[in-house]
Copies of this chain bind each other. A is one copy, B any other.
Amino acid sequence: MATAKPQSAPERQRDREATMRLLIDAVGRVLARQGFREVKVNVVAREAGINKVLIYRYFGGLDGLVAAFAHNGDFWPDLDELTGGDREAFLALPLVERLVVATRNYMRGIRRRPLTQEILAWRFLEHNALTEALDSVRQSVGMQIMALVRSGLAVPPNLDIAALYAILGGTINHLSVRERTEETFAGLPLDDEATWERLEVMLARIIRSVLGNED
């Protein structure tokens, strides 16, 4: 007869901002701990300790939540990181060495970010707000670093610099993503730091060879 009295839950503090924060953080934790395949409404809500209805109410669904997460993280090396922090010193280098430095720092930057590796793998499967956001940032940074590498210097005319970039970036992305789940590639132990030094050396050698042979 009497009205139902569910009132079992501890009743959080009714703070929308804090709740949204909890949900966004939970995305990062699930992503880091269990991988992108576990980034689901029920799982994230449980992780956050928040009722999943609020994901729909505040973010319009999981996509919106993931988008909010995307705008909130440091998923990509920025210009300073790619150049090594000292912009002047970077610009003092010749074209070839600029590219060597930027490539090396790019690889280190990706490997330093497990979440980015996770998202890179995610992108192989599907597009979503997170991978789109990541891509837009990468594209932006990519354009900037390309401009910075060649700024003030003449690029060899018959060099397909875009193809070279694609090959270098593709390799780094592939090996970084692969490192998550496999311990070797082409016989190289990816779990050994020495392997990555060898790869750095070879990438530098490739760049110097290709650009050095220019006339």
Contacts and interface: CB of A to CB of B under 8 A. Distances in A.
Interface string A174-185: 110110111001
Given A174-B174, A201-B160, A127 B181 contact: yes
A181 B121 contact: no
A194 B121 CA distance: 26
Contacts of A167: 171, 199, 202-203, 206
Contacts of A212: 209, 213
B181 A170 contact: no
Nearest to A164: B202
Contacts of A206: 164, 167, 206, 209-210
A127 to B, nearest CB: 7
Interface residues on A, range: 35 or more
A44 B173 CA distance: 32
A123 to B, nearest CB: 7
Question: Within the oligomer, what is the number of copies of this chain?
Answer: 2
Given A121-B124, A201-B160, A165 B181 contact: no
Contacts of A181: 123-127
A188 B166 contact: yes
A123 B182 contact: yes
Nearest to A178: B124
B201 A188 contact: no
Interface of A: 35, 37, 121, 123-127, 139, 142, 160, 162-167, 169-171, 173-175, 177-178, 180-182, 185-188, 198-199, 201-203, 205-206, 209-210, 212-213
Given A142-B187, A163-B199, 14 more contacts: A121-B124, A124-B180, A160-B201, A165-B186, A166-B188, A167-B203, A169-B185, A170-B175, A170-B185, A173-B174, A174-B174, A209-B212, A210-B210, A213-B213
20 contacts: A121-B124, A125-B181, A142-B186, A160-B198, A160-B202, A162-B187, A163-B198, A165-B186, A166-B171, A166-B175, A166-B187, A167-B203, A169-B186, A170-B170, A170-B178, A171-B171, A206-B209, A209-B209, A209-B210, A213-B213
